Amino acid sequence: MKKAIFFLIPVCLSVMSCTKEKTDYEAEINMVVTEHYEFKEAAAINIDDYHISIEALNGTFYKGYNEIRLKISGANTNENINAPAVTFLPVMTNADGSRASCPHRYNLVYNADDKYFPGYAVFTGESGTNETWELYISFTINNQSHSVKQAITVQEQTNKNLNMTTFTGKDSEQYFIALVAPQKPKVAENELVAGIYKFNEPTSPPSGSFPDPSQFSYSEVSDYTLQLDPRMPEPSMGNHSSINNKDLTQQDDGLYHGVVNYTMTGNWTLNFIMLNQNGKILKGTEVPTDFTPGVEGVKSELYIDILF
Amino acid sequence: MVFGILFLGMNANAQNPQAQNDTAKVLEEVKVTALAKKKIQTEMKMAVSVDEFLASSDNISFIKRGAYAWEPLLNNMSTERSTITIDGMHVFGACTDKMDPITSYVESNNLSTIDIKSGQEGSLHGATVAGSIDLKRKSTPFTPEKKYSGAYQTGFEFNNKQFFNLGNLSYSSDKFVVDGSISFRKAGNYYDGNNNEVTHSQYNKFNTSVGLAYKTSPFSAVRVDAIFDKANNVGFPALPMDLWLSRALITSASYKQLFQHGLIRVWDTKVYYNAVEHYMDDTKRPENLVHMDMPGWSTTYGLVSRANLKRGDYSAEIQLNAYNNLSIAEMRMYPQDRSKRTMFAYSWPWVTTKFTSLAMNNSWDISENSRLNLGGSLGYNYNRSKYVEFNWIFHPGTPQEKSRVLPGLHASYQLTVKQFDFSAGAGYGHRAPSVSEGYGYYIYNSFDRYDYIGNPDLKNEISYEANASAGFKNEKMGIEAKANYFYIQNYIIGRILSLGSPMNYQSVGVKGYTSLNHARIFNIALNANYNILQHLHWKGMLTYARATDDKDGNLPFIRPLSYQTSLHFMYKKFGIQTSLNGDFTQRNFSPEYGEDQTPAYMILNVSANYSFNIKNCKIVLQAGAENLLNEYYSTYADWGNIPRMGRNIFTSLKFSF
Ligand SMILES: [Cu+2]
DSSP per residue, B373-435: EEEEEEEEEEEEETTTHHHHHHSTT--SEEEEEEEEEEEEEEEEETTEEEEEEEEEEEEPPPH
Distance from C-alpha of A85 to C-alpha of A87, rounded to nearest angstrom: 6
C-beta separation of A146 from A48 below 8 A: yes
**The dihedral of CA B352, B462, B57, B8: what is its sign?**
positive
pLDDT value, residue A7 = 55
**The dihedral of CA B444, B446, B449, B455: what is its sign?**
negative
Please give the ipTM for the structure prediction: 0.82
% of chain A surpassing 90 pLDDT: 49
Report the gap between the CA of A248 and the closest CA in chain B (Å): 18
Report the gap between the CA of A262 and the closest CA in chain B (Å): 8
* Chain A residues near residue B279 by CB distance under 8 angstroms: 19-20
The Cα-based distances of B343 to A7, B292, B504, B517, B553 in angstroms read 43, 9, 12, 37, 39
pLDDT value, residue B199 = 92
Span from the CA of B365 to the centroid of ligand 1 (angstroms) = 48
Span from the CA of B228 to the centroid of ligand 1 (angstroms) = 18
Other Cβ atoms within 10 Å of B561 Cβ, number? 18
pLDDT value, residue B518 = 95
| Nearest CA among B244, B236, B45, B286 for reference residue B638 | B236
Query: Is the residue at B247 inside a domain?
Result: yes
pLDDT value, residue B113 = 85
pLDDT value, residue A210 = 80
pLDDT value, residue A16 = 58
pLDDT value, residue B62 = 79
- H helices of A53-157, in order, are none
Span from the CA of B324 to the centroid of ligand 1 (angstroms) = 22
| Nearest CA among A85, A117, A86, A123 for reference residue A104 | A123
Report residues of chain B scoring pLDDT below 50. 1-38
* Chain B residues near residue A187 by CB distance under 8 angstroms: 344-346, 387, 389-390, 393
* Chain B residues near residue A266 by CB distance under 8 angstroms: 333, 335, 341-344
CA angle A132, A135, A141 (to 5 degrees): 165
The CATH number of residue B201's host domain is: 2.40.170.20
CATH architecture of A160-307: Sandwich (2.60)
% of chain A surpassing 70 pLDDT: 94
pTM of structure: 0.86
pLDDT value, residue A25 = 85
The count of residues in chain B is 657
Contacts of residue B234, defined as CB under 8 A and 6 or more positions apart, other chains included, come to B66, B68, B69, B99, B202, B203, B204, B205, B242, B243, B246
B68: contact with A, CB 8 A cutoff: no
Residues facing residue B496 across a β-bridge: B511
Phi first, then psi: give them for residue B501, nearest 5 degrees: -120, 150
CA dihedral B74→B79→B82→B84, nearest 10 degrees, is 100
- Beta-carbon separation of A242 and B251 below 8 A: no
Contacts of residue B139, defined as CB under 8 A and 6 or more positions apart, other chains included, come to B2, B3, B5, B6, B112, B177, B179, B211, B213, B223, B225
| Nearest CA among B343, B352, B331 for reference residue B442 | B331
One-letter amino acid of B212: L
Q: A147-169: per-residue pLDDT in tens?
A: 899 999 999 998 999 999 999 99
CA angle A19, B226, B231 (to 5 degrees): 40
C-beta separation of B503 from A240 below 8 A: yes
CA angle A261, A265, A267 (to 5 degrees): 90
Q: What is the CATH number of domain A39-155?
A: 2.60.40
Delimiting residues of CATH 2.60.40 domain(s) in chain A: 39-155, 160-307
Q: Which of A86-100, A257-271, B194-208, B277-291 has the lowest mean pLDDT?
A: B277-291
| Nearest CA among B85, B83, B181 for reference residue B136 | B85
* Chain A residues near residue B335 by CB distance under 8 angstroms: 234, 236, 266-267
pLDDT value, residue A262 = 92
One-letter amino acid of A148: V
| Nearest CA among A126, A131, A81, A86 for reference residue A105 | A86
Distance from C-alpha of B422 to C-alpha of B470, rounded to nearest angstrom: 4
Query: Is the residue at B2 inside a domain?
Result: no
Query: Is the residue at B1 inside a domain?
Result: no
Query: Is the residue at B3 inside a domain?
Result: no
Say how many CB pairs under 8 Å bridge A and B: 127
pLDDT value, residue B6 = 32
Other Cβ atoms within 10 Å of B334 Cβ, number? 16
Domain encompassing residue B12: 8-656
| Nearest CA among B590, B297, B588, B333 for reference residue B451 | B333
C-beta separation of B102 from B86 below 8 A: yes
Residues facing residue A153 across a β-bridge: none
Residue A224 pLDDT exceeds 80: yes
- Beta-carbon separation of A240 and B251 below 8 A: no
SS3 B20: helix
- H helices of A20-109, in order, are 25-30
Distance from C-alpha of A133 to C-alpha of A171, rounded to nearest angstrom: 29
Distance from C-alpha of B229 to C-alpha of B246, rounded to nearest angstrom: 8
* Chain B residues near residue A25 by CB distance under 8 angstroms: 346, 387
Query: Is the residue at B226 inside a domain?
Result: yes
pLDDT value, residue B592 = 83
| Nearest CA among B583, B592, B593 for reference residue B636 | B583
Span from the CA of B329 to the centroid of ligand 1 (angstroms) = 10
C-beta separation of B510 from B451 below 8 A: yes
C-beta separation of B329 from A256 below 8 A: no
- What mean pLDDT is predicted for residues A245-258? 94
Distance from C-alpha of B22 to C-alpha of B28, rounded to nearest angstrom: 10
Burial B572-604 (b: 16+ CB within 10 A, else e): eeebebbbebbbeebebbbebbbbeebeebebb
Span from the CA of B96 to the centroid of ligand 1 (angstroms) = 6
pLDDT band of residue A3 (cuts 50, 70, 90) is low
Q: How many domains does chain B have?
A: 1
pLDDT band of residue A258 (cuts 50, 70, 90) is very high
pLDDT value, residue B457 = 95
pLDDT value, residue B19 = 36
Phi first, then psi: give them for residue B52, nearest 5 degrees: -60, -35
